[in-house]
């Protein structure tokens, strides 16, 4: 006998975005740049969409030149949606959504823009209206700093309109069931996870208190400081170009004589530090430092000091304190005064 426990997170939000706006057989353009985009594409294929996959080497961003070619060639508008992961958590790559919107507008293309913002929304600059995003989605456990358990979806009027003709089978995720109940007040079509909704309320209070702009700037400092530490250790960023550097997660390439999963294992077993594994194609080659959500600069420095000790443990010749020094030199020049304490 097996027990199946359902947790509705990013993956459920993906499914809800797709099935509410599209019909089986619809052509969608999807960018494969790392493990999360790979999983989303797998879901799109299993839901029977006609997925036009644009693949890039892991560590690179979405190939928007290919998108431009596809849009230019698609005069009869067979492409119904563009699916893109804003920030690929597996490789630390951030895609430029403003450019995607510009291309859609340039070619006057009506395709829906569906965006996985799981590791970007509430941490990176994300502009749903300005970039004409039709469905934006995230989960409770990333930048919102909540426990796992909620998938959050935001739909544009155009996406809501699309639900009227979308023929994909959907039951639990049918937006219209939710909307019907929301209209009645604080009702839900099913028993909600009340404790997480209270948690969300508290998480949003923290976000409003700090201010979204300040949060985005904090993440920018955390990202920059981490990359400087990586450089001081003599290691390489997995992300191949500066334009794609992610401010929420840094994927670090290790030399071939080290298995990156040993680094993650040791971090957990010896230092109580949770690092991210290299996933799929970059397994063993990459470890990831997450720096999103409820994390401040001093906490990050603790993490960087931990990574240095781990690197030494696994036989990488690092000078203890070198990454911390590079990061703190930058942070000391860039951390602003706390507004409420000036
Ligand atoms: C974590 C993550 C997901 C997966 O969400 P789950 O909550 O694990 O279902 C999807 N996309 C991105 C970009 C992520 O970082
Ligand atoms: C890694 O990122 C840092 C900080 O942005 C940059 O200075 C450095 O050149 C990058 N290193 C590599 C090897 O790309
Ligand atoms: C690990 O750290 C967490 C806080 O991040 C703490 O709650 C826990 O007790 C620690 N565990 C050990 C074994 O040190
Ligand atoms: C650090 C980084 O690359 N940030 C980018 C995140 O995405 C936005 C929007 O696409 C870009 O404007 C940032 O440059």
Q: What is the 3-state secondary structure (H, E, C) of 269-308?
A: HHHCCCCECCCHHHCCCEEEEECCCCCCHHHHHHHHHHHH
* Span 59-65, average pLDDT: 95
Pocket probe for ligand 4: among 88, 116, 125, 240, the residue whose CB has the most ligand atoms within 8 Å is 125
Q: So what's the pLDDT on residue 341?
A: 87
* 27-32 and 50-55 strand pairing: parallel
The angle formed by the CA atoms of residues 56, 61 and 62, to the nearest 5 degrees, is 65
**Which ligand number lies closest to the CA of residue 216?**
4
Q: So what's the pLDDT on residue 22?
A: 98
* Span 294-309, average pLDDT: 97
Q: Which residues are annotated as a binding site for substrate?
A: 288
What does pLDDT average to over the chain? Answer: 94
Q: So what's the pLDDT on residue 216?
A: 94
| Residues near 154 by beta carbon (within 8 Å), at least 6 away in sequence | 128, 135, 136, 137
Confidence of residue 315 (pLDDT cuts 50, 70, 90): very high
**Which ligand number lies closest to the CA of residue 233?**
2
Tens-place pLDDT, residues 263-278 = 999 999 999 999 999 9
**Which ligand number lies closest to the CA of residue 102?**
4
Does the Cβ of 232 fall within 6 Å of ligand 4?
A: no
CA of 330 to the centre of ligand 1 (A): 30
Distance between CA atoms of residues 339 and 216, nearest Å:
15
Alpha-helix runs per DSSP H in 107-211:
157-162, 175-183, 194-210
Does the Cβ of 99 fall within 6 Å of ligand 4?
A: no
Tens-place pLDDT, residues 225-273 = 999 999 999 998 888 888 889 999 999 999 999 999 999 999 999 999 9
**With 90 as the cut, is the pLDDT of residue 29 above it?**
yes
Does the Cβ of 126 fall within 6 Å of ligand 4?
A: no
Distance between CA atoms of residues 287 and 340, nearest Å:
36
**With 70 as the cut, is the pLDDT of residue 49 above it?**
yes
Confidence of residue 5 (pLDDT cuts 50, 70, 90): low
Q: Provide the token pair at 286.
A: 């990459």
Give the rounded percent of residues in the chain with a pLDDT score beyond 90: 82
Residue in 91, 115, 113, 89 with CA at minimum distance from that of residue 101? 113
Q: So what's the pLDDT on residue 324?
A: 98
Q: Mind listing the domains of the chain with CATH numbers?
A: 3-199 (3.40.640.10), 211-341 (3.90.1150.10)
Tens-place pLDDT, residues 104-161 = 999 999 999 999 999 999 999 999 999 999 999 999 988 999 999 999 999 999 999 9
- What is the side-by-side order of every strand in the sheet holding 286-290? 236-237, 249-253, 286-290
Residue in 312, 336, 251 with CA at minimum distance from that of residue 287? 251
Confidence of residue 55 (pLDDT cuts 50, 70, 90): very high
pTM: 0.84
CA of 241 to the centre of ligand 2 (A): 8
Q: So what's the pLDDT on residue 236?
A: 87
**With 80 as the cut, is the pLDDT of residue 335 above it?**
yes
Does the Cβ of 96 fall within 6 Å of ligand 4?
A: yes
Smallest CA separation from ligand 4 atom 11, residue: 96
* Ramachandran sector of residue 153 (left: φ over 0; alpha: ψ -120 to 50; beta: rest): beta
Tens-place pLDDT, residues 79-95 = 999 999 999 888 889 99
* Span 65-77, average pLDDT: 98
**103 or 149, greater pLDDT:** 103
Q: So what's the pLDDT on residue 129?
A: 96
């Amino acid at each position: 006998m097996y027990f199946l426990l359902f947790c509705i997170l990013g993956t459920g939000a993906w499914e809800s975005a797709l099935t509410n706006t599209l019909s089986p057989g619809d052509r969608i353009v999807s960018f494969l740049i790392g493990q999360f985009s790979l999983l989303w594409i797998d879901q799109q294929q299993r839901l029977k969409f006609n997925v036009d996959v644009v693949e890039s080497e892991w560590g690179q961003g979405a190939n928007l030149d290919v998108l431009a070619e596809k849009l230019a060639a698609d005069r009869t508008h067979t492409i119904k949606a563009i699916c893109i992961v804003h920030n690929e958590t597996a490789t630390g790559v951030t895609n430029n959504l403003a450019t995607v919107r510009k291309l859609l507008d340039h070619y006057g293309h009506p395709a829906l823009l569906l965006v996985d913002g799981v590791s970007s929304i509430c941490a990176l600059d994300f502009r749903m209206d300005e970039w004409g995003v039709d469905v934006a989605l995230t989960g409770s456990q990333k930048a919102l700093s909540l426990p796992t358990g909620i998938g959050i979806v935001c739909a544009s009027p155009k996406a809501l309109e699309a639900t009227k003709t979308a023929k994909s089978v959907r039951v639990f995720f049918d937006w219209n069931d939710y909307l019907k109940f929301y209209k009645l007040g604080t009702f839900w079509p099913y028993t909600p996870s009340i404790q997480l909704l209270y948690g969300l309320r508290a998480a949003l209070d923290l976000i409003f208190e700090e201010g979204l702009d300040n949060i985005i700037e904090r993440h920018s400092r955390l990202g920059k400081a981490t990359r400087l530490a990586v450089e001081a250790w003599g290691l390489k960023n997995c992300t191949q170009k500066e334009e794609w550097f992610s401010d929420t997660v840094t994927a670090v390439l290790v030399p071939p004589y080290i298995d990156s999963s040993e680094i993650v294992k040791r971090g957990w077993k010896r230092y109580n530090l949770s690092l991210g594994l290299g996933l799929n194609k970059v397994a063993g080659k990459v470890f990831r430092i997450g720096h999103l959500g409820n994390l401040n600069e001093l906490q990050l420095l603790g993490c960087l000091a931990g990574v240095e000790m781990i690197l030494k443990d696994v036989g990488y010749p690092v000078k203890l304190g070198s990454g911390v020094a590079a990061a703190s030199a930058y942070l000391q020049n860039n951390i602003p005064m706390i507004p409420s304490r000036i």
